[in-house]
Amino acid sequence: MMCPHCKSIKTVKMGCYHTKSGERRQRYKCKNCGRTFVLNPIKPRNYPEEFKEMVVKAVVREGVGVRQASRIFKLSPNTVTAWVREFSKKRPEK
């Protein structure tokens, strides 16, 4: 097992954790740098720009509320609000 941080091969098992989906993930600790890591880490959920635009248009142009949009698109209301703010900053002022 090689540490992804310092490339050392001096690693030991350091317990495990369970993901929200119930998957068991083995954790490792590097004896050289002291950092912990997992093999094949779960990538953060990224959405395509087109999807973000569709959600923002639903809120801004169609008059759908943030909470309603979050239920329709299965997103957190905080995510919808952040996207609306993000797109309002990108939009050129008239």
Residue boundaries of the structural domains of the chain = 1-41, 49-90
SS3 readout for 27-94 = EEEECCCCCEEECCCCCCCCCCHHHHHHHHHHHHCCCCCHHHHHHHCCCCHHHHHHHHHHHHHHCCCC
Per-residue pLDDT at 46 exceeds 60: yes
pLDDT range class, residue 93, cuts 50, 70, 90: low
Report yes or no on whether pTM surpasses 0.85.
Answer: no
Beta carbons of 57 and 51 less than 8 angstroms apart: no
What pLDDT is attached to residue 48?
Answer: 86
Cβ atoms within 10 A of the Cβ of 31, count?
A: 11
